[in-house]
Chains A and B, each alone.
Chain A
Amino acid sequence: MKEEEIIEAVKKINARNGKPVDEELLAQIIALVMKNPIDEDRQRCQSQILEIINQKKGEAD
């Protein structure tokens, strides 16, 4: 499957960025969307992305 391929492409661009985002966070979001690609998945998928961001960028951060 090409999941890794897409994630790699995004990581490459992130690495070039002056202020890179947490790679793992990017990978988690893309993997989540790829597993839930259809319209019916959107709400659930967005809630999970919010949760991931909340965890990664929590108060301790």
Chain B
Amino acid sequence: MIIQDIEIVNFGPFFGVQKVNFNNGGLGVHLIRGRNGDGKTSIQRSILWCLYGIVKDRNGKDIKPTSLLNYTARKRDIYDFYVNLSFRHEGSTWLLHRRMQGKSHSDREYTTHMNLSLTKNGEVITNPAQVIQRMIPSDISRFFFFDGEMLSDYEELLYTDVDTKFLKNSIESVLGIPYLKTSREDVRIVQKMIESQRNKILRRLGGKEFDEILKQYDEVQGNIDQCEKNIEAMGNQLTELETDLFSKKRDLSKIDSIKKLSLDRIRLESEIKNLQSKREMELTKRSQYTSQLYKKVLTGTSQSLISKLQGMHDRVMEKYDKKQKLLGEKDLISKGMAEQKCRTCGTILNEAKLNDLRSQLREIDIKIDALTEIPEPNLEFEEYAEVLRKVISFDGRKESIIEIQNRIDNVDYEIATKKSQLNSIRESLAGQDEEEPKRIEMQIRDIEHEKGRIEGSMTAERDTLNEFRKLKSELDQKITSIDQSELKVLGKRIETTKAIIQILEEAIGEYREQKKLEVQNEATQIFRQIKSKDSFDHLQINDQYGLGIVTNSGTVLDRGELRSSGEEQVVALSLIGALNKCANTDVAVFMDTPMGRLDEVISEKVLRFIPKLAEQVTLLVTGKELRHGDEKFLEGKIMSDLTVKHINEEEGSKIYHTREGDTV
């Protein structure tokens, strides 16, 4: 399946029509960039919803239809959302359309009025849901549309003491093992159909001997049916217990890590606080730069304003100084006249000199009067001039503001990432108490005890079943010995079905081992291309398809605590890659946040490997995962480069072709 176009309408964060067109007919590598919360995962979910009508959240729970409708659509009473998916599959062009439309905003309304249609080369196909299930069974979709945040699930496969049946079954589905199991069960039912046909003939023949055989046969068959039913019921009980056990053990390991989580919480809280202070500082800086940048525009005006102000100020100061000098002179003369003595040399002043001084005083008064209009010098002048000088000297470039904005964006991203980590830690820590581990341990013991009891009963039931089958076989021989051609033919057919069942039984085990080895080899090949350390040699698969790292010296790192989270992700990606290579079907691969836990060196290796993963690979990545310039590692295989961006609450998210300078 190669996806060519997706049309998303009023789904999740997308209001109205949003389209994703994959160039090159869908072949090659396609990028969908976006920040956390912009809508990348929703694109992937829209595909899964279109295919299967169900979308699960990261806790594995179904998302309700009412939660799928876009917020703005709901606000505007538009209770209608749909997804169109066009793709190529086995040489044909397909168009899948799924729509939910209701008169009101209720899950029931949407589910009742769900519409699904499928066309193949323009012709309408009946039973579209079944056709899609035949193409890609929903239980294997997780390997083709996978979520990087969920890669830790694959780590559970390593723990052989934890039964991860559901995951193991999905892996076996990808590898095609259920085909053999279904074939065996179908042939088993066919065997019963032929037996029933034969018994009818026997009844028709009549006679005491035949009646006796038939009676015994019916009895044995009844017992076999009952045994099979019991074994099936016990098998279901065991699956439930194993799932329960898995979840309890997971809870317990979570509790064990509470101390570490608490420390992580404190560290994250402090880091977020520091980042928020950093953000505040950058915001202030941005505001200053913006204001200065506006002022910069006024540089010319400022310069002439300073000159004018300086001229005015100088003139005022000159007159002011002159007036002050005259006032000093007046004071000196006045005091001399009062004392009738020269203030400089002490000579006694006669009347003529006094008259001369009076005349001087009058002249000075006239001059002072002329200067009376002169105001006091403006003391704020220097302050204003300094502000204007700063405006001129400011090296305000638009780039500086962009740099600050980039720093703010990076801080925002870091805060968002850390907050999300903090929230998940808080969720894990919520409601924990000291007695909880003991309680869980007791529950685990109870479950294991019950599991052991059922397993014992199952073994006994299987023994009984084998006994009944032996009896049935003996009766079969008796019937075959009856000289009746029709019965002989049916007998041969029954023998054939038995032989086929036996071959298929053997084939299941053998094919499983063959595929397991293949997965191990493929995963090792991928691992060697993307591994983080030279000392890692190869991968080793266990019965649950978990992969252990084997070092050059032969040490097996098969426990999570022996490997870093980045190494875990590399191993998980190797498994995913190997399953895609070994899968019995060719499907497009969508990888949501595949490199979240990887450093730059490993990311580069993963990127170089990605084009070889499948015919169509779509990467849904953040700017932290695919850094500027990383595109070169995809070696010219990028066929589409799209960005999804959340505009605002009203408009929701939009998908567009990535433009130069877009930051995500």
Shortest Cβ distance from B201 into chain A, in angstroms? Answer: 13
Q: Quick one: CB contact mask for A17-44 with B, threshold 8 Å, 1 for yes?
A: 1010110011001100111111011100
* Interface magnitude class on chain A: 35 or more
Provide the residues of chain B in CB contact with A46, threshold 8 Å.
186, 189-190, 193
Point out which of A5, A13, A26 has the most chain B C-beta atoms below 10 A from its C-beta. A13
Of B137, B187, B585, the contact of A49 (CB 8 Å cutoff): B187
Question: Which of B100-108, B110-118, B327-335, B491-499 touches A?
Answer: B491-499
Provide the residues of chain B in CB contact with A12, threshold 8 Å.
510
Is residue B471 within 8 Å, beta carbon to beta carbon, of the partner chain?
no
Asked whether, in the complex, the Cβ of A40 is within 8 Å of the Cβ of B130, the reply is yes
**In the complex, what distance in Å separates the CA atom of A17 from the CA atom of B187?**
18
Q: Quick one: CB contact mask for B71-85 with A, threshold 8 Å, 1 for yes?
A: 000000000000000
Is residue B61 within 8 Å, beta carbon to beta carbon, of the partner chain?
no
Is residue B584 within 8 Å, beta carbon to beta carbon, of the partner chain?
yes
Asked whether, in the complex, the Cβ of A42 is within 8 Å of the Cβ of B186, the reply is yes
Known: A13-B506, A29-B183, A53-B497. A6 touches B584 (CB 8 A): yes
Q: Quick one: CB contact mask for B566-592 with A, threshold 8 Å, 1 for yes?
A: 000000000000000001111000000
Known: A40-B130, A59-B485. A6 touches B500 (CB 8 A): no
Known: A1-B584, A33-B179, A37-B178. A13 touches B507 (CB 8 A): yes
**In the complex, what distance in Å separates the CA atom of A46 from the CA atom of B176?**
19
Provide the residues of chain A in CB contact with B193, threshold 8 Å.
46, 50
Provide the residues of chain A in CB contact with B134, threshold 8 Å.
35-38, 41
Of A9, A41, A50, A53, the contact of B511 (CB 8 Å cutoff): A9
* Interface magnitude class on chain B: 35 or more
Known: A13-B510, A30-B183, A42-B186. A21 touches B176 (CB 8 A): no
Provide the residues of chain A in CB contact with B503, threshold 8 Å.
10, 13-14, 17, 21, 26
**In the complex, what distance in Å separates the CA atom of A38 from the CA atom of B275?**
53
**In the complex, what distance in Å separates the CA atom of A19 from the CA atom of B497?**
13
Asked whether, in the complex, the Cβ of A53 is within 8 Å of the Cβ of B194, the reply is yes
Known: A26-B500, A57-B492, A57-B493. A10 touches B180 (CB 8 A): yes
Provide the residues of chain B in CB contact with A58, threshold 8 Å.
489
Of A21, A45, A59, the contact of B500 (CB 8 Å cutoff): A21
Shortest Cβ distance from B298 into chain A, in angstroms? Answer: 73
Provide the residues of chain A in CB contact with B180, threshold 8 Å.
6, 10, 30
Asked whether, in the complex, the Cβ of A37 is within 8 Å of the Cβ of B187, the reply is no
Provide the residues of chain A in CB contact with B502, threshold 8 Å.
17
Provide the residues of chain A in CB contact with B510, threshold 8 Å.
9, 12-13
Is residue B514 within 8 Å, beta carbon to beta carbon, of the partner chain?
yes
Closest chain B residue to A35, Cβ basis:
B134
Known: A13-B507, A29-B187, A46-B193. A57 touches B179 (CB 8 A): no
**In the complex, what distance in Å separates the CA atom of A35 from the CA atom of B179?**
10
Provide the residues of chain B in CB contact with A5, threshold 8 Å.
176, 584
Is residue B655 within 8 Å, beta carbon to beta carbon, of the partner chain?
no
Known: A14-B503, A33-B179, A37-B179. A53 touches B189 (CB 8 A): no
Provide the residues of chain A in CB contact with B127, threshold 8 Å.
40
Is residue B529 within 8 Å, beta carbon to beta carbon, of the partner chain?
no
Asked whether, in the complex, the Cβ of A37 is within 8 Å of the Cβ of B492, the reply is no
Is residue B504 within 8 Å, beta carbon to beta carbon, of the partner chain?
yes
Closest chain A residue to B586, Cβ basis:
A1
Shortest Cβ distance from B437 into chain A, in angstroms? Answer: 41
Is residue B400 within 8 Å, beta carbon to beta carbon, of the partner chain?
no
**In the complex, what distance in Å separates the CA atom of A57 from the CA atom of B583?**
34
Known: A6-B511, A21-B500, A53-B497. A33 touches B186 (CB 8 A): yes
**In the complex, what distance in Å separates the CA atom of A42 from the CA atom of B133?**
14
**In the complex, what distance in Å separates the CA atom of A22 from the CA atom of B586?**
30
Known: A19-B499, A21-B499. A34 touches B514 (CB 8 A): no
7 cross-chain pairs, A with B, having the tightest CB-CB distances, nearest first: A2-B584, A33-B183, A9-B511, A10-B507, A57-B493, A38-B133, A50-B190
A positions within 8 Å CB-CB of B:
1-3, 5-6, 9-10, 12-14, 17, 19, 21-22, 25-26, 29-30, 33-38, 40-42, 45-46, 49-50, 53-54, 56-59, 61
Q: Can you pick out 14 interface pairs between chain A and chain B where the beta carbons lie within 8 Å of each other? A: A1-B585, A2-B584, A9-B514, A10-B180, A21-B503, A34-B176, A36-B134, A37-B133, A42-B186, A45-B186, A46-B193, A50-B193, A53-B190, A61-B492
Apart from A34-B179, A40-B130, A46-B186: 6 A-B pairs, beta carbons within 8 A: A1-B584, A36-B134, A38-B133, A41-B134, A49-B186, A53-B497
